[in-house]
Amino acid sequence: MTFREYLSDRTERLIVGTVFAFAAAGFLLATGTAAGVLVILLIAWLAIAAGMLLFDYYKCRTRLRELWTVMDGLDEKYLFAECVPKGDGIYERKLLELTRRAGKSMIRAVSDAREAQRAYQEYVESWVHEIKTPMTAAELVCRNADAKTRQKLLPELAQIKAHVERALFYARSESAEKDILIREADLAEIAAQAIANHRTLLIENGVRVETEQIEQNVYTDAKWAAFLLGQLLQNAARYRSEHPVVTLSARRLGKQVQLAVSDNGIGIPAHEQPRVFDRGFTGQNGRARGGSTGMGLYLCRRVAGCLEADLRLSSEEGRGTRVTITFPAKENLTKT
């Protein structure tokens, strides 16, 4: 707060004071007070008023600075009113009281929302857990059914499984540290797991998968990495060309390992590429084909973040898409 701001806040008081001083001076002159005495009185009055003003200004400024320091030091700004040292003015105390009440209601709202979100996440996780039993049963029944029913039902079941899996990993990635365990893992095994998980979809779409030098050890959580890879395989099957081929190839980059998943599918237009990892983004391909939720690649980005892996996508329309996952080196891991 500058002195000018301070003064402008007190303009009315200053004007009233000055008018009163001149009125008093006129009255005193009219009742026969000597002019010399009047000048002394005015100077004394001015000095006292200015002194008081300055003193009050410094007091206000110090107090404000103190409050700013408190605010700057807080991570949760809404706790401000709870942390402020008591002021001495009644007016200020009343104001703070109001702020505190506002803050309290805010704190309650925030903790209610957090609790609701935690409960919801817990519910989703337990729901996914519960749905697994009937899904397993359905798949077993389907396997034992006649070939025609099986052919029809398996893809549907595979789709349900893929949706449920995404829901589970979405809920989990909120508190990933509870579940993720990064350790040395066999990339070839992860790839085999991911391919096996989506075998029905891949075979149904006539996809051929080729692997090149994927016999490498990487530092990651095998289950989460297989999920990530699975999303990419599903995309490759979904946005395929006439004769779809997906190539998984790995190479060492110093102490890191980079896995490239390339397909010869329909590709993604250049202007859409920067947004493909955004939540809920469905490009023209997704809209044209339907059934795209815009969650797959968004989850990939989240999961890659949890795995401390670097995820990049490049694509050329009509030629295909290439996604690279660079797994971290052991030394660069922030958590183990």
Partner 1 sequence: MQKIMIIEDDPVIRDELALLLENEGYAPLTVTDFSDVPEQVKRSAPALILLDIGLPGKDGFRLCADLQKTVRIPIIFVTSRDSSLDEIRALGLGGDDYITKPYNIPVLMSRIKAVLRRSGGTAEADVTEALGLRVDMAKGTAQTESGRVELTRNELQILACLMRRPGEIVSRADLIETLWENRIYIDDNTLSVNVTRLRKKLEELGRPDLIKTRRGMGYQL
DSSP letter string, 197-212: HTHHHHHHTT-EEEEE
Angle between helices 296-306 and 222-238 (to 10 degrees): 160
Angle between helices 35-73 and 11-30 (to 10 degrees): 170
CB 241 within 8 A of CB 264: yes
Task: By CB under 8 A, name the one of 192, 260, 329, 333 that touches partner 1.
Answer: 192
Of the candidate spans 65-73, 202-210, 263-271, 317-325, the one that interacts with partner 1 by CB under 8 A turns out to be 202-210
| Paired tokens of 30 | 């009219």
Alpha-carbon gap, residue 294 to 238, rounded angstroms: 13
Task: Give the H/E segment covering residue 289.
Answer: helix 284-289
Taking contact as CB under 8 A, which single stretch among the options 14-22, 27-35, 133-141, 251-259 is the one that binds partner 1?
A: 133-141
Shortest reach from residue 220's CB to partner 1, in Å:
12
Q: Which is nearer to partner 1, 77 or 208 (CB)?
A: 208
Total Cβ atoms within 10 A of residue 61: 14
Indicate whether 206 belongs to the interface with partner 1 (CB under 8 A). Answer: yes
Among 14, 19, 140, 288, binds partner 1 (CB under 8 A): 140
Q: Which stretch binds partner 1 (CB under 8 A): 50-58, 64-72, 130-138, 304-312?
A: 130-138
Among 99, 121, 159, 211, binds partner 1 (CB under 8 A): 211
- Return the number of the residue (238 or 268) whose C-beta is nearest partner 1: 238
* DSSP calls for 242-271: SS-EEEEEEEEETTEEEEEEEE-S----GG
Backbone angles phi, psi at 186, to 5 degrees: -90, 115
Q: Which parts of 71-110 interact with partner 1 (CB under 8 A)?
A: none
Least distance from partner 1 to the Cβ atom of residue 281, Å: 28
Q: Minimum CB separation from partner 1 for residue 116, in Å?
A: 24
Is residue 336 near partner 1 by the rule CB under 8 A? Answer: no
Cα 149 versus chain centre, distance: 44
**By the rule CB under 8 A, 210 interacts with partner 1:** yes
> Would you call 333 exposed, middle or buried from its count of C-beta atoms within 10 A (0-12, 13-18, 19+)?
middle
- Shortest distance, CB of residue 210 to partner 1, whole angstroms? 7
- The residue count for binding partner 1 (CB under 8 A) is 35
- If one asks whether residue 202 binds partner 1 (CB under 8 A), the answer comes out as yes
Rounded to 10 degrees, the C-alpha dihedral 258/236/175/79 comes to: 100
Pick one of 61, 63, 100, 223: the residue that binds partner 1 (CB under 8 A): 223
Q: Minimal distance in Å, beta carbon 215 to partner 1?
A: 12
CA angle 313, 156, 122 (to 5 degrees): 70
Collapsing DSSP states into helix, strand and coil, what is residue 179?
coil
Shortest distance in whole angstroms from residue 254 CB to partner 1: 28
Look up residue 15 and give its two tokens: 């004007």
263 lies in the binding site for partner 1 (CB under 8 A): no
Looking at 32-40, 94-102, 131-139, 252-260, which segment touches partner 1 (CB under 8 A)? 131-139
Using CB under 8 A, list all residues that contact partner 1.
Answer: 129, 132-137, 139-141, 143-144, 151, 161, 178-181, 192, 195-197, 199, 202-203, 206-211, 221, 223, 243-244
